[in-house]
Structure 1
Amino acid sequence: MRRVAVRSVVVAGLLACGAGVPGPAQASAGAPAWAPAQVSAWAGPEADVSYHGRVALSGARLRVWLVPENDGPAALPNATLRVRLSTDLADRQQLAQGCARAGLREVVCETGPLPSHGRGRHVGLALELRERVPEVAVRVDTWWNGGATDRNHANDDHVVLALDTGDAYAF
């Protein structure tokens, strides 16, 4: 059941990014099928999704802890956050519930419901890297937000440099 839920979030995210069938605006403009769909006049409810947490690198293991928040004004039934790394992940990963690998260097996780002016579920990842590196850049951002309009991307798009010291770096 869990895999089905994660797949539906991942598929919804791909469709939201325009990876699906081209829409009428693309077809009429002659845009290629891979081009993102144009934003319609109605962009959904307004919500301000943000992430707060920390990352720590020790050896070839990267730990990421974060909490998604929504400053409103509308609640969201779910969103998908993305964690991207500057180095490759190991082939095998033990991921938290609601998370899925999305590439050589990416993991996506559902946030669960995000009430207006409230927090989503805590997300904890213990990621194994392909090899030990002295540092890794970790980017956390929103991959899919259910079609909501978010006017403040300063609080949901973070890049953190973690050194191989075991120290936690906050964002």
Structure 2
Amino acid sequence: MEAFLVSTGVVALGEMGDKTQLLAILLAATFRKPWQIVAGIFTATIINHALAGAVGGWVAQAMGPNVLRWVIGGSFLAMAAWMMIPDKIEDDAAKTSHAFGAFGTTVITFFLAEMGDKTQIATVALAARYPDVVAVVAGTTLGMMLADAPAVFLGDKIAQKVSMRLVHGIAAAIFAVLGVLTLLNVGNLF
């Protein structure tokens, strides 16, 4: 349960103001079909995070416990620093052919936008840290949906009311705490 809850919280906070959240707003404004866009986000996220979770599980098995602890701890600390860098939508991710419709365009653009993104890297690190990869993938997917689905429906209104700097600061602090706890081997999870 810890893997699911930590994964959900970390990704939900980490996704606030992320380029994929901005992409959700852009797609909602372009297509005006919110349910197809939300379904596309879910589909792309579950595929992307399942692959990332598999990589994380493989990393956990390929490294010894001491090396793994240092790699994951360092990864969480790097994610904390990365959270403080604002995201922008990359032009290529925003320019996908409309021939695929709202759902298809959303699946393609979200999958590509998530490649190497903070939440994908976080999913790899969380799956390496927690032995229950299914709980991690379910949690990171739920976290993405908690952040991105409201953006599809309420986009601009949310962005005007919530301080992205504060949200990124909280997410960075959570990643930093996870990194330090991992490096100190607190909970002896490895």
TM-score of the aligned structures, taking structure 2 as reference length: 0.26
